[in-house]
C-alpha cells in the first residue's frame, strides 16, 4: 500500500505516504501530509526499529475505543508527528494531528479529523498494511 488517508478532503485529511525502506525491508521513514482549508503541511517521520509505528496506536484505538482514558496519544521519536484521540459516549472520535518542523526550521501545523467509532477498524487495517513491508 503506497499511502493511506484519514479524514475527508472537505474537512481535515491526514495522508501517510512516501515510505523509504532499508535493505531488510524495514520502513526507515515516511511522510505525513496534513491538508485542510488553506493549509498543506508535510513532515518527514523517522521510524526507528526500537520505536512503535502509529499503526499500533490505531489498532489500540479500534480494539477499545469505549475503554479509553480521557485521551490516547502517540508521538514520533523525534516529535515531528503527534497524534491524539478522544471519544465521546456516542462513538464520535476526534483525532488531532500535529506536525512540527525541526530545530532549524521551527513551525507547527495541526488539525482535527472527526471519525465514527465504526471507522476505526478500517483505519487500523489500512495503517497496518501501510506499515508492513508489502508494496
Q: For residue 28, what are the contacts with CB-CB under 8 A and spacing of at least 6?
A: 20, 21, 22, 46, 47
| Fold assignment, 4-130 | Transcriptional Co-activator pc4; Chain A (2.30.31)
Give pTM, 2 decimals: 0.91
Kindly state the cell numbers that stand for 2. Answer: 503506497
> What separation in angstroms does the CA of 25 have from each of 65, 112, 131?
32, 32, 11
Reported as a single tens digit per residue, the pLDDT across 62-118 is: 988 776 667 789 999 999 999 999 988 888 999 999 999 988 889 999 999 999 999
Amino acid at each position: 500500500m503506497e499511502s493511506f488517508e484519514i479524514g475527508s478532503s472537505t474537512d481535515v485529511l491526514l495522508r501517510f505516504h512516501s515510505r523509504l525502506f532499508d535493505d531488510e525491508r524495514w520502513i526507515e521513514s515516511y511522510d505525513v501530509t496534513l491538508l485542510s482549508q488553506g493549509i498543506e503541511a508535510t513532515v518527514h517521520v523517522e521510524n526507528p526499529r526500537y520505536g512503535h509505528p502509529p499503526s499500533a496506536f490505531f489498532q489500540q484505538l479500534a480494539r477499545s475505543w469505549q475503554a479509553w482514558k480521557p485521551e490516547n496519544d502517540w508521538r514520533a521519536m523525534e516529535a515531528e508527528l503527534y497524534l491524539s484521540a478522544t471519544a465521546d459516549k456516542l462513538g464520535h472520535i476526534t483525532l488531532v494531528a500535529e506536525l512540527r518542523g525541526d530545530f532549524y526550521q521551527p513551525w507547527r501545523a495541526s488539525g482535527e479529523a472527526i471519525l465514527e467509532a465504526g471507522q476505526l477498524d478500517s483505519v487500523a487495517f489500512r495503517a497496518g498494511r501501510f506499515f508492513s513491508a508489502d508494496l
